């Protein structure tokens, strides 16, 4: 009897009761091996659905997190090429996007798959398909900047899953909620969310959920300095994970044991396994963690070589390990990196101050972002900023009771009494601090060098955000949320950002705030896309940013960035959304400028004449706003913006819930697609021209039948439009 791989024809002879298309699908996923082929063939039903698609949705993945299952991907690609009902096609596309997460070069493809899958599910009205599509979007398009969006999407996933009776997806939604709360720095709320997740898993009899809970409890114990508890929980994770058959059990426990080893001052044994992972999973930045461990081992020269090798790839990369990888490189750079590397990493981290660095679905948490910002600022000789960051980190750690992180930050801050307190904490916790002399700030360059080309992620990628590896913790490989036989941490909507092409001070034409004009008068104007030499990051949060017309073009100014943009429809939509932060605008209203506003036949609140009058007034206001932009009339622009916002609010009240059901027709769907596509075009341009602005907007814009600008952290105090 033949036991080697069979051809498609030979497999067909072995499985004569199945059609050729199904046989081919089985051959794709089994490689033609007779035993696995027979087992898989036994699961093929004779229902009315497409058998290839059903097979693609049912076959479990057999690889660990971030390791592509080539056989399953082949099957999913085949299923995606077949004519399928909308709900089924949505599920096939979203699963394919999830499986492609392990391919770092597939970002654009994953985005296309996700966009189509979510659109199909929304249009079809299938709650289960939509819940799965939203979950898959978070997994396939992972981005640290989108934590707030993850929290919102998690709530929608849970609601849809409960409505559809899909317990598996409900659990994933609960895990996303836990992860987002941890990312945003609220560990008390995250711990409560973890309890809800665990109890729901118990109710459903899901053994994977129990492993997730144990592993995250170990993460919390590490942060609090309960090292003996963390070690005990790590052993329980190993036993429970192996009993449940989770493929990532060994990597997950290696991550926890690696952190314990670092805290106990034994980093050397972690280097070789991490280097092996870096070879096994290229593009997922395990080499950055190697650099961090080399620093802990006192091998700074080797670590700095890793920094030079990896920095360009990390800052133009993406994925669930990105935030932690940048954190590792930042810690390394603070020990002795060149000024350009230190500035680049500082700029990359700045939008995430106040948050925690979270790896995957919180399988590892390594401390506050502000800890690393303080270390980098001190390396640059900016002592006042360094102390401000350190103070915020200490306050955050004290509030959380994170004694491990607190000891490391106090040791680095060096205010009077800090080091004595840090050593006392370390002694009582049983952890080791790095007592080597600080490297000091780097020598100043002879001439100021522009920093425009450093520290910014590339198109299709998420933000290079990192966080403080306070107390020398946080380092080894990790896994993510439970999915089938994997603890695969999910993903967030990719807020892609592009390579920095530099930017200039906000001195272009168009409206500007008074303080921006004063700042511009005090410094020479520079060409568009040229950043003035400065130690501060571009587009600082808390400043006033502006978007306005300048002749036929647009000017976007954010901090030290100023960008000239060719007029496209998406900029008009963006301006409308920025004018009313936190308020929803119907896609039809946004696209048509009022033409899409309709009353229901049963009880019209606006007749045709009234709608025409509103449309005319909106057009007049848009023209006045453009004129104010061109002349720099700030007060006039603000007056027009207020009137337009009030008018739009009145229109929404007159034609929304009080007088018209939600739109689900073809016209509304076209408006949604057109608005989303137009805004995406603008964000793609900003990826290259103003990456930090693009980063903020991708995290803040909500699209769908209704759109809104919901300001995320890292943006301005206000927009002037």
Q: pLDDT-based confidence at 543, cuts 50/70/90?
A: low
Mean pLDDT, rounded, for 620-632: 74
* pLDDT of residue 238 exceeding 80: yes
Report which of residues 456 and 685 the model is more confident about.
685
Highest mean predicted confidence (pLDDT) among 49-63, 335-349, 639-653: 335-349
297 within domain boundaries: no
Mean pLDDT, rounded, for 187-200: 95
Closest CA to 133 of 165, 182, 87, 66: 87
pLDDT number for residue 646: 67
* pLDDT of residue 226 exceeding 90: yes
Note down the domain range covering 613.
Answer: 566-720
pLDDT number for residue 286: 87
pLDDT number for residue 22: 86
Strand order of the β-sheet with 706-709 is 585-586, 706-709, 701-702
Q: pLDDT-based confidence at 610, cuts 50/70/90?
A: low
The DSSP bridge pattern shows strands 544-550 and 486-487 to be unpaired
The Cα 149–Cα 415 span in angstroms is 37
696 within domain boundaries: yes
* pLDDT of residue 277 exceeding 70: yes
- Mean pLDDT is lowest, of 13-17, 217-221, 299-303, 388-392, for 13-17
| Alpha helices, H only, 267-359 | 268-280, 286-296, 300-315, 322-334, 339-349
76 within domain boundaries: no
pLDDT number for residue 670: 76
391 within domain boundaries: no
**What does residue 255 show for φ and ψ, rounded to 5 degrees?**
-60, -45
High-pLDDT (> 70) share of the chain, %: 78
Mean pLDDT, rounded, for 454-465: 34
Angle at CA of residue 683, ends 678 and 684, nearest 5°: 95
pLDDT number for residue 107: 84
673 within domain boundaries: yes
698 within domain boundaries: yes
Residue with tokens 């709608």: 611
Report which of residues 652 and 189 the model is more confident about.
189
High-pLDDT (> 90) share of the chain, %: 41
Number of domains within the chain: 1
618 within domain boundaries: yes
Query: Number of H helices and number of E strands within the chain?
Result: 30, 11
C-alpha distances in Å from residue 167, one per residue of 52, 132, 149, 154, 274? 25, 11, 22, 14, 36
253 within domain boundaries: no
pLDDT number for residue 475: 32
pLDDT number for residue 443: 52
Mean pLDDT, rounded, for 574-599: 75
Q: What is the mean pLDDT of the chain?
A: 79
CA atoms within 13 A on the CB side of 71: 18
Q: pLDDT-based confidence at 611, cuts 50/70/90?
A: low
Report which of residues 33 and 664 the model is more confident about.
33
* pLDDT of residue 460 exceeding 60: no
pLDDT number for residue 599: 34
* pLDDT of residue 96 exceeding 90: yes
pLDDT, tens digit, 9 for 90 and up, residues 7-66: 888 888 888 888 888 888 888 888 888 888 888 888 887 667 888 999 899 888 887 777
pLDDT, tens digit, 9 for 90 and up, residues 463-507: 333 333 333 333 333 333 333 334 333 333 333 333 333 333 333
Q: Any idea of the CA torsion for 382, 387, 388, 394, to the nearest 10 degrees?
A: 150
- Mean pLDDT is lowest, of 387-391, 398-402, 713-717, for 713-717
The DSSP bridge pattern shows strands 553-558 and 486-487 to be unpaired
Highest mean predicted confidence (pLDDT) among 203-217, 586-600, 655-669: 203-217
Mean pLDDT, rounded, for 586-599: 62
Q: pLDDT-based confidence at 339, cuts 50/70/90?
A: very high
Contacts of 285 (CB under 8 A, 6+ apart): 278, 310, 313, 314, 317, 319, 321, 322, 325
Give the 3-state secondary structure of residue 598.
coil
* pLDDT of residue 526 exceeding 50: no
* pLDDT of residue 458 exceeding 50: no
| Alpha helices, H only, 100-206 | 107-124, 127-140, 147-164, 167-183, 187-204
**What does residue 566 show for φ and ψ, rounded to 5 degrees?**
-70, 145
Query: Sign of the C-alpha dihedral, residues 364, 366, 367, 371?
Result: negative
In the chain the first and final C-alpha atoms are separated, in Å, by 75
Radius of gyration of the chain measured on its C-alpha atoms: 27
Mean pLDDT, rounded, for 309-330: 86
The Cα 673–Cα 659 span in angstroms is 24
For 495, the token pair is: 């807020």
Q: pLDDT-based confidence at 201, cuts 50/70/90?
A: very high
């Amino acid at each position: 009897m033949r036991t080697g791989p069979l051809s498609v024809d030979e497999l067909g002879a072995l499985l004569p009761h199945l059609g050729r298309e199904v046989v081919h699908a089985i051959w794709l996923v089994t490689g033609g091996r007779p035993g696995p082929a027979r087992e898989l063939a036994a699961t093929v039903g004779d229902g009315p659905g497409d058998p290839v698609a059903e097979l693609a949705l049912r076959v479990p993945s057999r690889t660990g997190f971030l390791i592509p299952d080539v056989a399953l991907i082949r099957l999913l690609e085949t299923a995606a090429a077949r004519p399928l009902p909308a709900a089924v096609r949505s599920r096939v596309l979203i699963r394919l996007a999830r499986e492609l997460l392990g391919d770092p070069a597939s970002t654009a493809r994953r985005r296309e798959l996700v966009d189509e899958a979510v659109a199909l599910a929304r249009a079809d009205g299938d709650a289960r398909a939509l819940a799965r599509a939203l979950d898959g979007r978070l997994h396939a398009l992972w981005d640290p900047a989108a934590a707030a969006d993850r929290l919102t999407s998690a709530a929608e996933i849970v609601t849809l899953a409960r409505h559809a009776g899909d317990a598996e997806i409900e659990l994933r939604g609960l895990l996303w909620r836990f992860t987002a709360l941890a990312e945003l720095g609220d560990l008390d709320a995250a711990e409560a969310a973890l309890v809800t997740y665990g109890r729901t898993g118990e109710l459903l009899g899901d053994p994977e959920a129990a492993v997730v809970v144990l592993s995250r409890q170990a993460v919390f114990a590490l942060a609090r300095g309960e090292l003996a508890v963390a070690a005990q929980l790590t052993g329980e994770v190993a036993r429970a994970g192996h009993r449940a058959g989770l493929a990532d059990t060994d990597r997950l426990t290696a991550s926890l044991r690696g952190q314990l080893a670092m805290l106990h001052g034994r980093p050397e044994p972690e280097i070789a396994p991490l280097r092996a992972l870096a070879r096994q999973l290229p593009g997922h930045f395990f080499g950055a963690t190697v650099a961090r461990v080399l620093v802990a081992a006192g091998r700074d020269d080797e670590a700095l070589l890793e920094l030079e090798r990896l920095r360009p790839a990390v800052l133009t990369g993406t994925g669930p390990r990105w935030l932690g990888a940048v954190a590792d490189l930042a810690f390394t750079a603070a020990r002795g990196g060149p000024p350009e590397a230190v500035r680049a990493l500082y700029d990359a981290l700045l939008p995430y101050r106040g948050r925690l660095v979270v790896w995957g679905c919180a399988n590892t948490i390594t401390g506050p972002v502000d800890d690393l910002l303080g270390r980098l600022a001190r390396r640059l000789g900016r002592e006042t900023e360094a102390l401000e960051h350190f103070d915020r980190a200490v306050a955050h750690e004290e509030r959380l009771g994170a004694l491990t992180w607190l000891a490391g930050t106090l040791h680095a801050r060096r205010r009077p009494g800090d080091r004595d307190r840090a050593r006392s904490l370390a002694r009582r916790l049983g952890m080791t601090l790095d007592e080597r002399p600080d490297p000091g700030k780097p020598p100043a360059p002879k001439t100021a060098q522009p920093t425009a080309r450093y520290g910014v992620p590339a198109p299709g990628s998420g933000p290079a955000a990192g966080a403080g590896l306070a107390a020398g913790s946080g380092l080894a490989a990790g896994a993510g949320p439970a999915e089938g036989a994997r603890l695969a941490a999910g993903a967030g909507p990719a807020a892609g950002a592009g390579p920095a092409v530099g930017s200039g001070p906000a001195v272009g034409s168009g409206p500007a705030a008074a303080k921006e004009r004063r700042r511009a008068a005090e410094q020479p104007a520079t060409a568009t896309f040229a950043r003035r030499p400065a130690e501060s990051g571009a587009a600082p949060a808390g400043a006033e940013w502006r978007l306005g017309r300048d002749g036929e073009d647009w000017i976007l100014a954010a901090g030290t960035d100023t960008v000239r943009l060719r007029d496209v429809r998406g900029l008009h939509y963006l301006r409308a959304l920025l004018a009313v932060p936190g308020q929803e605008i119907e896609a039809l209203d946004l696209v048509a400028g009022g033409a899409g506003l309709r009353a229901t036949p049963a009880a019209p609140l606006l007749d045709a004449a009234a709608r025409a009058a509103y449309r005319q007034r909106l057009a007049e206001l848009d023209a006045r706003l453009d004129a104010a932009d061109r002349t720099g009339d700030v007060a006039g622009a603000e007056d027009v913006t207020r009137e337009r916002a009030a008018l739009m609010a009145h229109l929404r009240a007159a034609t929304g819930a009080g007088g018209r059901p939600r739109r689900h027709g073809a016209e509304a769907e076209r408006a949604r697609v057109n608005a989303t596509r137009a805004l995406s075009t603008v964000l793609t341009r900003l990826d290259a021209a103003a990456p930090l602005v693009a980063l903020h907007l991708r995290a803040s814009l909500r699209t769908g039948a209704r759109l809104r600008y919901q300001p995320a952290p890292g943006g301005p105090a206000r927009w002037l439009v």
